[in-house]
Amino acid sequence: MCGIVGYYGPKDPKDVIVGGLKRLEYRGYDSAGVAILDGPKNDQHFKVVRAEGKLGELAKKLETVSFTGHLGIGHTRWATHGVPSERNAHPHTVDGVSLVHNGIIENYQDIKADLAREGAVFSSDTDSELVAHLLARKVKETGDLFKAVELVLPMLTGAYSILAVWEKQPDVMVAFKNGPPLIVGVGEKEMVIASDVQAIISHTNKVVYLEDFEIVFVKGNDVKFFSAAGAPIKKEVVTITWTADQVEKAGYKHFMLKEIHEQPRAVAAACAPHVNLETKRVKLSDVGLSDEQLRGIERVFIIACGTSYYAGLAGKYLIEQLAKIPVECDIASEFRYRDPVIPPRSLILTISQSGETADTLAALRLAKQAGALTLSICNVRASSIDREAHGHLYMNSGPEIGVASTKAFVSTLALLNLLSLYLGQVRGALSVKDEQHALEQLLAAPSQMEAVLAYDKFFAEAAQKLKAYKGILFMGRGINYPIALEGALKLKELAYMHAEGYAAGEMKHGPLALIDERMLIVMVCPSDRNYEKTLSNLEEARARGGRIISIGTGDNHALKAVSDHYLSLPKAEWNVNPILESIPVQLLAYHVANAMGHDVDQPRNLAKSVTVE
């Protein structure tokens, strides 16, 4: 969950690396560092600058430092082994070999014991430094960094991506991986290696994705790929469509706020490829699964983590109601360890914005081993999950940089609508009229979302009062229940406030005891088939002294009468309501966190892409 950047080329490596790290800071931000060649032409050594804290601390230190070389590496860290500190910050450098690492070396204790016996002296508490020691020993033997990597790779177990450089080979970068992503940007007379395309797109749009147990060897302007056994391999150069301006804040205070406001466009972009405008019906384009395969599905398992899991939970309601297929929805870290029974003719649907979440990827692999058909919903194309699934649906949200997921969530809700409608269509579970009506409603969502974004102002003004509550209970029924869960997650991760998401009907079974006048209730209560029952739950909460924000449909007097604040959403069908309801709960969390002075884009202890278990 760290960010890695390496650069060789004519530009100032410091600028390229720090610029790249800035775009990868979402991956981890407890310390950062660079190692860049410096010194007279024929006697260059790595000058290492590291700092505890966010990248800004490193940038301050680097203001007065310059480098003469054209090769360097950098890292932004999310601590696993060793507390966040300068001493544990990467790069780790041993005898002229410097490296950055993302992941965990699981056999680090054995390696450390062996190295200690040989007299190694350690200068950090990390597992990563040990790999630098191993490489330093092997370059002494072989005189070549690539050969050293070939020898060290089989000694490592765990999930890692590692980028190494050696001062004796000042135009060489060698990187390898098993797990966390690594991407090579192939530029004009320059090479960038990074954890994510966002660090590369300012320099080139030509990239190569490294697979597990592959090694990339950059020498000057040349790049070659090898298997772990040293056999040359041919790799496809992919042209990426994301652009550099998509990863800027465009005048917003935070990426998260920008991304919230991008949501109408994100939903439209998710839908666009899958709508037949002539027939006004869903056509799943380029999904990679045949109608026959989709017709044969008898059970769906939806597997994801965090916000993607909550989107999946909404998908359960959609698929069951629209396509009449039973659905189980699982948290990936639970699914993979519970010996799941996956009957024949099951579809495993994995959802992941990043496409790199370790547990989701492992669950996908497990399902494939069991012989199941798999389909992924990802935002990042060519990410590990996207590459490994049989079928593919794309969020098309553009880069999501705020650690809190927003636009990927609503794009996924839109895709789950489309998938459910299409499954309903090919299986004959849905009349053409019903499909067209549901689709029409979905296509109206982007313009309705624009109207809901006006609540930005309301929450900006209300935030000071809202942050004073002891906690917030989010509640909803049916397909609105996952939105309650998502609202609570957003508040926890951004405002560090106690929040719970509950199925409103479950309230009397425990959480009612939490309610008093210091507890805020956010009741998601649109005019759908559960409306009356949810309204009764709202009355129960109010009778216990809870303060109420209700989110409902249109000008609802009954809700207004029993709420401290009533937020009105445009009239929509049940399948579209969650897309509209997402916006107020996101804005609430954003503004409360902002009013508390938190770093909204980089909440404490978190990283956007969770590539370790």
Enumerate the active-site residues: 2, 608
CB of 355 to ligand M6R, least distance (A): 7
Instruction: Tell me whether residue 204 or residue 357 sits nearer to ligand M6R (CB atom).
Output: 357
> Least distance from C-beta 308 to ligand M6R, angstroms?
4
Q: Name the strand (E) or helix (H) holding 28.
A: none
Interatomic CA distance for residues 249 and 86, integer angstroms: 29
Least Å from the CB of residue 11 to ligand M6R: 30
Pick 349 or 610: Cβ nearer ligand M6R: 610
Q: Which residue shows structure tokens 């629209």?
A: 322
- The CB-side HSE value for 469 (13 A sphere, CA atoms) comes to 30
Residue 309 beta carbon to ligand M6R: minimum distance, rounded to whole angstroms:
7
Please check whether residue 384 is in contact with residue 161, taking contact to mean a CB–CB distance below 8 angstroms.
no
> Between 161 and 357, whose beta carbon lies closer to ligand M6R?
357
Residue with smaller CB distance to ligand M6R, 9 or 578: 578
State the minimum distance, in angstroms, from the CB of residue 602 to ligand M6R: 11
Closest CA to 311 of 320, 324, 302: 302
User: Which CB, 206 or 598, lies closer to ligand M6R?
Assistant: 598
**Whether 138 contacts 98, CB under 8 Å:** no
Nearer to ligand M6R, 218 or 488 (CB): 488
- How far, in Å, CA of 129 to CA of 33, rounded? 14
Shortest spacing between CB 307 and ligand M6R, in angstroms: 3
Distance CA 165, CA 157 (A): 21
| Binding footprint of ligand M6R on the chain (CB under 6 A) | 305-308, 352-354, 357, 360, 403-405, 489, 493, 609-610
Contact in structure between 568 and 466 (CB atoms under 8 Å): no
Q: Which is nearer to ligand M6R, 269 or 363 (CB)?
A: 363
Of residues 9 and 391, the one with the C-beta less far from ligand M6R: 391
> Alpha-carbon distance 35 to 508, whole Å?
58
CA distance 393 to 396: 9
Give how far Cα 563 sits from Cα of 11, 113, 552, 566, Å. 59, 63, 11, 6
Six-digit token pair at 422?
Answer: 């299409």
- Residue of minimal Cβ distance to ligand M6R: 306
Token pair for 470: 């002891």
Q: Shortest CA distance to 32 belongs to which of 85, 99, 96?
A: 85
Give the nearest distance from C-beta 47 to ligand M6R in angstroms: 35
Burial class from Cβ neighbours inside 10 Å (0-12, 13-18, 19+) for residue 472 reads: buried
Q: Please calculate the CA angle 375-376-378 and round it to the nearest 5 degrees.
A: 160
CA distance 134 to 55: 28
Structure tokens at 378: 């990802």
Query: Measured between alpha carbons, how far is 503 from 511 in angstroms, rounded to an integer?
Result: 10
Q: Give me the least distance between CB of 354 and ligand M6R, in Å please.
A: 3
